[in-house]
């Protein structure tokens, strides 16, 4: 502010001289300059219970007077008029806020700001510079801007600045980048970006549907899936189907897991099971017509013929039972995950060296049993020929072996292979052996169809330990 030109002196009352009333403060200042008078008298009086203050000049016994209109000094009165202020209240509010002109002050006051530092901050952050550009972009980006945004509520740059900064945006560029993608909150925009979303509309829809992954959301939209619950159902079935089975077949295999061993299920019963399982995938239709199987549900078991073919050919069903083609029923027989059989002679003769006349060892069986214990098998049944005990180099270890496993020798007139396979078959257990039982496949239909499924090969490591990679995968 410029240096004060006038000195002010308060007086108690007007002298009894002629009075000339002036309307404009500039005229009052001009007269003071003409009179070369820099002393201004200030007089206050009460009229109709209201206090009124006037500024006056005294020249040649004539009083030149102007109402102060609430200004404290003539200098401030004149300055207010120069800067466009129409009243003292606005002028002093602007002065306290640090504003230099009325237009800036009025713009701020409109949204309740009387601190010029905020006005300057809005300028620094680009809101004044880009405000007109912002309004133009609103017309060309109508499809992506926030649906509830009304430009009429933001008719100046300061309002837009306040709106943006209150929502966490650091400057106009930061705000515009998010706003024209539909976001009005910086935190929401950042959360959406981290999760891979571009447009706010997609992000909001995804959140409402229960998704936090752009990939899952886009796949759900493509498949007309309504929410995360339905998507999880679809995704679980899709993964379990391995790109091979229908979703009805996947559900059937899951249902067969709960039936007790020995249960015989007819084709009609299996058809009922499939229907019940399908009911778990009924979801509300988009047209409000009730629940139905969604379009994404892939069926392959549409007839008795399809079901029979599936039961006959699906190797994954071997884990749950066997299909009797003559009687056309499925007998539940799940493989045990606690009991397992071991081809004792085959393991005893195993070695890292490829040469004839290898001497068998009980220590090999003990090491294999240790590997099976790690896979949480509680009962390990070793079956061997009676002659093995006379062939091993460490017969003294038999008692130690029997502490770890149940050791059985094949009865007279029964081969160890025959005794092993029959016991494993009855108990629905896997067999640990590197023997492929080729001769038995040629003479026994059941063995030909099933031995490759129940036989688990092993690997002997250089340190004498054993690995069972196939079984490790089954036990995951």
> What's residue 285's pLDDT?
86
Is residue 428 located within the same domain as residue 359? yes
Q: Which token pair is 363?
A: 């220590």
> What's residue 367's pLDDT?
96
Q: Cα(214)–Cα(115) distance, rounded to whole angstroms?
A: 43
298-339 pLDDT per residue, tens: 999 999 999 999 998 888 887 788 888 787 899 888 788 899
Lowest mean pLDDT among 29-33, 87-91, 431-435: 87-91
Instruction: Quickly list DSSP for 245-308.
Output: S-HHHHHHHHHHTTSPTT-EEEHHHHHHHHHHHHHTT-EE-TTSS-EE--TT------SHHHHH
Per-state percent for the chain, helix, strand, coil, to nearest 5 = 45, 15, 40
> What's residue 283's pLDDT?
94
Residue with tokens 């929502």: 167
- Residue where a domain stops, chosen among 264, 299, 332: 332
Is residue 196 located within the same domain as residue 248? no
What is the pTM assigned to this prediction? 0.60
- Residue where a domain stops, chosen among 290, 311, 332: 332
Bridge partner list, 266: 329
Is residue 280 located within the same domain as residue 184? no
Is residue 381 located within the same domain as residue 366? yes
Other C-beta atoms lying within 10 Å of the C-beta of residue 35: 14
Between 391 and 261, name the one with better pLDDT: 391
Residue 461 domain-assigned (yes or no): yes
Lowest mean pLDDT among 19-23, 31-35, 136-140, 368-372: 136-140
> What's residue 309's pLDDT?
93
Is residue 431 located within the same domain as residue 466? yes
Residue 93 domain-assigned (yes or no): no
> What is the mean predicted confidence (pLDDT) over 231-252?
95
> What is the mean predicted confidence (pLDDT) over 337-362?
84
Is residue 303 located within the same domain as residue 347? no
Q: Does position 354 have pLDDT exceeding 60, yes or no?
A: no
Is residue 248 located within the same domain as residue 355? no
Q: Does position 225 have pLDDT exceeding 90, yes or no?
A: yes
Q: Does position 235 have pLDDT exceeding 90, yes or no?
A: yes
Q: Cα(157)–Cα(162) distance, rounded to whole angstroms?
A: 9
Instruction: Quickly list DSSP for 2-30.
Output: PPP--EEEEESS--SS-EEE-S-HHHHHH
Q: Which token pair is 464?
A: 């004498």
3-53 pLDDT per residue, tens: 789 999 999 888 899 999 999 999 999 999 999 999 999 999 887 778 899
Is residue 324 located within the same domain as residue 410? no
Residue 89 domain-assigned (yes or no): no
437-467 pLDDT per residue, tens: 999 988 888 888 888 888 999 999 989 999 9
> What's residue 139's pLDDT?
86
Residue 388 domain-assigned (yes or no): yes
CATH number at residue 445: 3.40.50.11980
Residue 120 domain-assigned (yes or no): no
Q: Does position 94 have pLDDT exceeding 80, yes or no?
A: yes
Residue 105 domain-assigned (yes or no): no
Is residue 311 located within the same domain as residue 255? yes
Angle between helices 157-166 and 116-124 (to 10 degrees): 80
Tell how strand 291-292 and strand 283-284 pair up.
antiparallel
| % of the chain exceeding 70 in pLDDT | 97
pLDDT tier, 2 (very low <50, low <70, confident <90, very high otherwise): low
> What's residue 187's pLDDT?
96
Is residue 319 located within the same domain as residue 344? no
- Residue where a domain stops, chosen among 160, 192, 222: 222
Residue 253 domain-assigned (yes or no): yes
Between 363 and 321, name the one with better pLDDT: 363
Is residue 355 located within the same domain as residue 468? yes
101-133 pLDDT per residue, tens: 888 788 777 766 666 777 788 889 999 899 999
Is residue 254 located within the same domain as residue 320? yes
Q: Which token pair is 168?
A: 């966490």
Residue 254 domain-assigned (yes or no): yes
Q: Which token pair is 16?
A: 């009894």
CA angle 114, 83, 111 (to 5 degrees): 25
Q: Does position 361 have pLDDT exceeding 60, yes or no?
A: yes
Which domain, by its residues, includes 217? Answer: 125-222
CATH number at residue 49: 3.30.720
> What's residue 326's pLDDT?
80
DSSP 436: -
| Counted domains in the chain | 4
Between 2 and 463, name the one with better pLDDT: 463
> What's residue 6's pLDDT?
94
Q: Which token pair is 276?
A: 């019940």
């Amino acid at each position: 502010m410029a240096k004060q030109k006038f000195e002010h002196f308060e007086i108690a009352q007007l002298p009894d001289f002629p009075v000339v009333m002036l309307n404009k403060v500039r005229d009052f200042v001009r007269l003071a300059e003409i009179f070369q008078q820099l002393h201004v008298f200030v007089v206050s009086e009460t009229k109709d219970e209201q206090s009124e203050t006037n500024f006056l000049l005294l020249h040649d016994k004539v009083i030149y007077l102007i109402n102060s209109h609430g200004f404290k000094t003539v200098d401030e009165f004149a300055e207010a008029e120069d800067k466009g202020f129409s009243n003292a209240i606005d002028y002093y509010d602007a002065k306290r806020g640090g504003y230099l002109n009325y237009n800036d002050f009025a713009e701020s006051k409109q949204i309740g700001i009387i601190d010029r530092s905020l006005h300057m901050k809005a300028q620094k952050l680009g809101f004044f510079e880009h405000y007109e550009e912002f309004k133009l972009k609103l017309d060309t980006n109508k499809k992506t801007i926030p649906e509830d945004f009304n430009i009429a509520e933001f008719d100046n740059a300061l309002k837009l600045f306040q709106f943006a900064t209150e929502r966490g945006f650091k400057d106009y560029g930061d705000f515009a980048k998010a706003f024209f993608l539909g976001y009005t909150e910086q935190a929401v925009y950042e959360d959406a970006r981290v999760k891979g979303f571009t447009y706010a509309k997609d992000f909001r829809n995804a959140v409402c549907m229960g998704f936090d992954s752009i990939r899952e959301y886009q796949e759900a939209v493509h498949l007309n899936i309504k929410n995360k619950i339905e998507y999880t159902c679809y995704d679980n079935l899709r993964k379990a189907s391995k790109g091979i089975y229908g979703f009805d077949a996947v559900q059937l295999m899951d249902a067969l897991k709960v039936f007790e061993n020995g249960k015989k299920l007819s084709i009609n019963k299996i058809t009922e099971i499939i229907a019940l399982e399908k009911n778990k995938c009924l979801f509300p239709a988009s047209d409000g017509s009730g629940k139905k199987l969604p379009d994404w549900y892939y069926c392959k078991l549409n007839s008795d013929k399809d079901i029979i073919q599936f039961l006959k050919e699906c190797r994954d069903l071997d884990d749950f039972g066997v299909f009797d083609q003559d009687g056309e029923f499925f007998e539940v027989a799940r493989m045990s995950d606690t009991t397992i059989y071991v081809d004792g002679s085959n393991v005893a003769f195993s070695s890292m060296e490829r040469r004839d006349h290898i001497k068998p060892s009980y220590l090999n069986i003990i090491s294999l049993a240790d590997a099976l214990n790690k896979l949480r098998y509680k009962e390990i049944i070793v079956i061997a020929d009676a002659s093995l005990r006379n062939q091993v180099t460490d017969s003294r270890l038999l008692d130690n072996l029997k502490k770890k496993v149940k050791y059985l020798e094949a009865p007279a007139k029964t081969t160890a292979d025959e005794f092993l396979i029959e016991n494993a078959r009855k108990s629905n257990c896997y067999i640990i052996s590197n023997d492929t039982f080729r001769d038995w496949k040629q003479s026994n239909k059941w063995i030909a169809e099933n031995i490759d499924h129940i036989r688990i090969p092993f690997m002997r490591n250089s340190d004498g330990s054993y690995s069972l990679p196939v079984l490790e995968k089954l036990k995951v």
